[in-house]
Amino acid sequence: MADEVREALDALIRKHGEDYSAISRLLGRNPAYIQQYIKRGTPRRLSEEDRLRLAAYFRVPEERLGGRSGAVAEPAPGLLAVPRVDIGASAGPGAVAEIEEQGPPIGFDAATLRALGVKRASRASIIRVTGASMEPTLQDGDDILVDRDAVTIRSGAIYVLRLDDMLVVKRLVREGAGPLVIRSDNDAYPDIVDYDPAALAVIGRVLWCGRKL
C-alpha cells in the first residue's frame, strides 16, 4: 500500500508539472522532504495533515493518497505561502535587478489561487510596484501577484517584463502585425514602441494586487 501511495503521488506531481521541492514547500517542509518520501520511503507514511493538503491541492480523493475509502478531500486548513520578490517592479522608469525570491511571504488559500488562474502555486510570486506610470490601476507600493507560468500574451493584460535589463510592469497590447505595444495606464507616460523585441522577456502576468489604505 505504501509503495502504491508513493507511486500515485509521484504520478500526480509529474502530471501537474510540479517538482518535489515545490510540493515540499507547499507542505511547509524542507525542500528534500517529498523526494525522500517517494524515493527512499522516509517517512514511511504521510501525516494526515500532509495527505489532506496534497489531496486538496491535486483535487483527488483522499483514498488515492492512503486515506480512508470514500473520503473526499476538503481544502486543508492554513494558507499557501506565496514568496515575495524583494525588489521593485517599476511602474515608472524601471529598475535594474535580478529576480530572487526572498522576504516575508503573503498567504493565499489554494482555492483563491485557482480562482485567480494560478495552476502551480510554486510559480507565483509577490512583487512590489514602484512608480506612478500604471496609475490608477496600480499605485506605488502595491503588492502584485505574478504568475510566472503565464507568459502567453493576452492583448491588454498586465505583465511584469524585463526590457533592456529593467524590470517593469506594463500592459502589452497587440496592434496590427507590428511588435507589441508596451503601454502605461497613466496617460502622462507615452507608449513604448521603439524597442528591440529580442530585448523583451515576459516574466509573468499580474493577476491580483493589494495595497495598504
- Name every residue whose Cβ is closer than 8 Å to that of residue 170 and which is 6 or more positions away in sequence: 91, 133, 134, 158, 159, 161, 182, 183, 184, 192
Q: For residue range 64-114, what is the model confidence (pLDDT) as tens digits?
A: 888 766 554 444 456 777 887 766 666 665 554 555 555 667 778 888 888
We find that the CATH architecture of domain 2-65 is Orthogonal Bundle (1.10)
Q: What is the pLDDT of residue 189?
A: 94
Q: Which residue intervals of the chain bear CATH 2.10.109.10?
A: 80-210
- Which residue would you say has higher pLDDT here, 129 or 104? 129
Stretch(es) of the chain classified as CATH 1.10.260.40: 2-65
pLDDT of residue 70: 53
CATH number of 80-210: 2.10.109.10
pLDDT at 63: 82
Most confident of 21-30, 79-88, 188-197: 188-197
pTM over 0.85: no
Dump pLDDT digits (tens) for 33-72.
999 999 999 998 888 878 877 877 777 787 888 876 655 4
